[in-house]
Structure 1
Amino acid sequence: MVDEDERRAWAYLAGVAEPPCAALRTLITEVGITEAARAVAGRSMPSGHAEVLRATEARHGVNTSAEDLDAAARVGGRLVTPDDDEWPGWQLLALSKADTSAKGGEPLALWMRGPVQFDQAVDRSIAIVGSRAASGYGEHVTATISSGLVAENWSVVSGGAYGIDGVAHRNVLASGGVTVAVLACGIDRDYPSGHARLLSEIARTGLVVSEYAPGTTAAKHRFLTRNRLVAALSSAVVVVEAGQRSGAANTAAWARKLGTPLGAVPGPVTSATSVGCHRMIADGVAHLVTDSADILRLARPGGEDVQRSTGSRERPTDNLDANQLRVYDTVPATGTLTIGEISFACGLELRQVRSALAVLEARGMLSTDGSGWSLARGR
């Protein structure tokens, strides 16, 4: 349990350097949160931590931790730290890899508003990202995928932006599921402003999450920093639409760095908003996915038996052998045929036809009135 002094220390250090700051996290690990805050504020750094002094030079003299915690509380928010039970340490651990920590690294702490436990919200989660200038096709696919994931009790993580992000969030909410919006500004800021109502609804039933203290405005570099969290907090990342250059492509790049399974939805070959997806698929860096079943197999290979939402239901003819299928296909939709007529039409011997008819009748696929054979009623 984090006491009030420790939480203030976390709040101070979470904002004293522009995230991410791997050097500051290393200091906290070595000396503890309270001593690390004291060292940064007093500029009395242990040897070997000169990088922390450089990273905190501009902000060390301003401690707004109490005000930040109060601002979060006013919007129903809280600061979650690695010392809290709901911290999803396992998911975020990938950010501490040597090849990602220089530009990424784990967040020091995260601000959030919403009633859901953070670790529970991202335990079974899929990131859905894509173009802000989404097409009608992209919106339709996103809606179908989002509702399919909710039906399998998975949550959806996205960035709260216009386009694909917004469609994903809205359809999860409409389906009664949990969605997490990761922002590039403070949790008390509605960005984009047109999504104020959407973000409020997400905070009512899911989570709005940010690495940045309340009051922080959105900036281009913060969107790129935010994208690593979207990838890290998900069991798989899915790009529905992406242009030649897009934020979604940056999130996809983070997924590859972190070893998070990556899927891309193909689109019309004439669509500029699908160029990025087609390139990822063609280059072999993303798996082609078309529905929620594809995505869940990507996220948990071999772990769950998930039916496709469309086109995967077993057909009556799927388990027929070659002769049985030929006989079944010969019988017309209306009328009847004798055994001899079926034999002539499909080119099988009478004994082969009789054997196939016995199986098809037992399965309820064909019926006979004694003189001829027809499709069973309902077929």
Structure 2
Amino acid sequence: MSMFGLEESEIATLVRAVSGDTNLERQTIEDRFARATWSGLAEPGDRLAGRAVRQLGPSRALTAVVDHWSAARFAAELTQESDPVPEDDMRQAMERWLPRLKSDSALIALRQAARFGARLFTPEDALWPARLNDLDWHAPFALWVRGTDAALAGLVNGMALVGARAATGYGEHITMEASAGLVDRGYTIVSGAAYGIDGMAHRAAIASQGLTVAFLAGGVDRFYPSGHDSLLTRIVDNGAVISELPCGSPPTKWRFLQRNRLIAAASVATVVLEAGWRSGSLNTAGHAATLGRPLGAVPGPVTSAASAGCHRLIRDYDAVCVTNPDQMAELAPLDHEAGVLHPEPHSAAEDAGVLHSTETTRLLDALSARSARTTDDIAARSGLALAVVRARLGMLELDGRVSESERGWKQAATPSTPKNAQTRATVL
């Protein structure tokens, strides 16, 4: 028998292996395999993919892609009276997903997961972090996990500690005290395993014999950053390493930004301990604020550029000024369930600006500065429709950020002066 055109027996064996349950029924196996496939088919946070899986179910949504449903039919299936799906949006979504629809990609990810001892969790599992469901259509399809059940269960009291990669001695000292103090109070430390503040938060939690969880922007089979390989190995032994991306997936700038929403959503509160004016940790803070999660920031010396982002959060974004573990714990007492605040709708102009920015980021992530890549390859790597890739590459070439040769497209080594100023404004 077959499942999505593949051998059912192999799918069943692999799904059972990464689920840790040999008694799964056929429909459960099919749904889990579909979710595993969706985790590599669509980029993290893909709204239409999330809506399709939520409304049609993972198996039927995947069948729609495998069977190449027309955009009109797909849109009609998803349309609700108060929230229609434009046919053109559905067509673009299909063009994003189809380049990645390879028959054995999910099987390869499952084999790799089984090899590394990773497990696949879906929203139906008891240990699924329930707060992630607050992301609604932007929630992950599945989670690939290496680590302990205790750490997953501990996410009910997860506290996110985030900050700059280029941390100062002051920032690392504050983080060490905060992490150890929160662990002593029963919290699980959640962060992103990056250099600087993130790494110190994890280390201090482990040293205090507490639980810690690291969310990655790539597959759990390829630890990143490589300099934290030993730290992440220790986290697997004493906590959990989690990703919404299947094994084999490389981390990219876009995926780091999307990873931050999981850190914020899975935690009862987020604390930014040290951050520059444009630190990526401010992105995590933004997700926390959007979800209605309590947000804290640790002040630093007013002369320190490394704390300018924290001061910005306190001054302009209503973050609570916190200076010790007791104050951080006050943000969200143990077992406190924060409500969800829905952001105000953006204007069409704002949405277009965000779209262009994210498309550019994903496109540049998919390009190499050393080897040329074809447009088909770039589309598959970026998760963008082929037509979008072709259009954006042309604009980026005018801006001097990419170059084309007989073999394909590459990132420009040094961005040159754009051929006209209007093009630069459009791209950015």
Q: TM-score per shorter chain, which class?
A: 0.7 to 0.9
**Secondary structure of 2:108's match?**
helix
Match for residue 134 of structure 2 among 82, 94, 119: 94
Code of the aligned partner of 1:67: I
Aligned partner (choices 75, 80, 93) of residue 116 of structure 2: 75
Question: Match for 1:163: what amino acid?
Answer: G
1:5 is aligned to 30
2:217 to 184, 197, 216: 184
Q: Aligned AA for 2:46?
A: C
Task: Please list the CA deviations of residues 73-98 of structure 1 after superposition, one character each: whole Å capped at 9, or x if unmatched.
Answer: 21111111112221123x113212xx
Distance 1:53 1:130 in 2: 37
Equivalent residues in 2 for 1:140-155 (5 A)?
140-155=173-188
1:288 corresponds to which residue? 321
C-alpha offsets along residues 230-281 of structure 1, whole Å, 9 cap, x if unaligned?
1001111000000010111111111111111100001111111101111111
Asked if 1:44 is matched to 2:77, the reply is no
CA distance in 1, matches of 2:335, 2:240: 29
* Aligned residues of 2:121 and 2:143 also touching (Cα < 8 A): yes
SS of alignment partner, residue 9 of structure 1: helix
Verify: 1:262 aligned to 2:299, yes or no.
Answer: no
Matched, 1:27 2:52: yes
- In the TM superposition, residue 201 of structure 1 has moved relative to its aligned partner by 0.6
Which residue identity does 1:247 align to in structure 2? G
- Structure 1 residue 21, shift from structure 2 partner: 1.8
Equivalent residues of 1:266, 1:289 under 8 A apart = yes
Q: Which has the larger radius of gyration?
A: 1
Q: Which runs of 5+ in 1 are unaligned?
A: 304-379
Kept in 1: contact 2:275–2:281 (CA 8 A):
yes
How far 1:302 sits from its partner (Å)?
11
- Structure 2 counterpart of 1:35, which letter? R
- Residue type at the aligned position of 2:35: W
Question: How far does residue 32 in structure 1 lie from its aligned partner after superposition?
Answer: 2.2
**Aligned-CA RMSD value:** 1.9
Tell me, what secondary structure is at the counterpart of 1:20?
coil
User: Aligned match of 2:106 in 65, 79, 85?
Assistant: 65
Answer yes or no: is the 8 Å Cα contact 2:219–2:245 preserved in 1.
yes
Q: What is the CA deviation profile of residues 175-208 of structure 1, one whole-angstrom value per residue up to 9, with x for unaligned ones?
A: 0111000011110111111000000110112110
Alpha-carbon distance in 1 for matches of 2:57, 2:311: 47
TM-score in terms of structure 2 length: 0.66
* Shift in Å, 1:44: 2.3
Task: Give the CA deviation at 1:70.
Answer: 1.6
- Contact 1:71/1:214 (CA < 8 Å) preserved in 2? yes
Q: Aligned to 1:244, what secondary structure does the other structure show? A: coil
Give the aligned residue type for 1:41.
Answer: V
- CA shift in 2, pair 1:28/1:151, >3 Å: same
Residues 121 and 206, structure 1, Cα contact 8 Å, conserved in 2: no
**Separation in 2 of the partners of 1:301 and 1:83?**
24
Q: Deviations over 1:285-316 (max 9, x none)?
A: 2100011110111113997xxxxxxxxxxxxx
What are the residue-to-residue correspondences of 1:231-270 with 2, within 5 Å?
231-270=264-303
The residue type equivalent to 2:55 in the other structure is E
Letter aligned with residue 92 of structure 1: L
| Alignment partners' CA distance in 2, 1:237 and 1:21 | 24
Give the CA deviation at 1:61: 3.5
Cα deviations by residue, 1:16-46 (Å, 9 ceiling, x for unpaired): 1112222122222333222222221121264
Shift of 1:58: 1.8
Mapped partners of 2:117, 2:58: distance in 1: 25
Q: 4+ residue runs of structure 1 moved beyond 6 angstroms? A: none
SS of 1:231's partner is helix
SS in 2 for 1:156: strand
Contact in 1 for aligned 2:64/2:74 (Cα 8 Å): no
Q: How does 1:1-379 map to 2 (within 5 A)?
A: 3-44=28-69, 46-48=73-75, 51=90, 52-89=93-130, 91-96=131-136, 105-117=138-150, 119-300=152-333
User: Contact (CA 8 Å) 2:156, 2:335: kept in 1 or not?
Assistant: no
Considering fraction of residues, name the structure with more helix: 2
Deviations 1:215-242 (A, max 9, x none): 1111111111111111001111000000
Is the 8 Å Cα contact of residues 237 and 252 (structure 1) preserved in structure 2? yes
What residue ranges of structure 2 are gaps of 5+ in the alignment? 1-23, 79-86, 337-428
Is 1:41–1:61's contact at 8 Å kept on the other side of the alignment? no
Q: Name the amino acid aligned to 2:106.
A: S
Q: Which amino acid aligns with 1:225?
A: Q
SS at match of 1:66: helix
Residue 119 of structure 1: CA displacement? Answer: 4.7
The 8 Å contact of residues 151 and 239 in structure 2, kept in 1 or not, is answered as: no
Q: Say how many residue pairs are matched.
A: 295
Give the distance between the partners of 1:243 and 1:39, measured in 2 at CA: 45
What SS class does the counterpart of residue 56 from structure 1 fall into?
Answer: helix
Matched-pair contact (CA < 8 Å) for 2:183–2:205:
yes
Equivalent position of 1:352 in the other structure: none
CA distance in 2, matches of 1:59, 1:216: 12
Q: Which amino acid in the other structure matches residue 217 of structure 1? A: P
Helix, strand or coil for the counterpart of 1:57?
helix
- Partner of 2:247, secondary structure, is coil
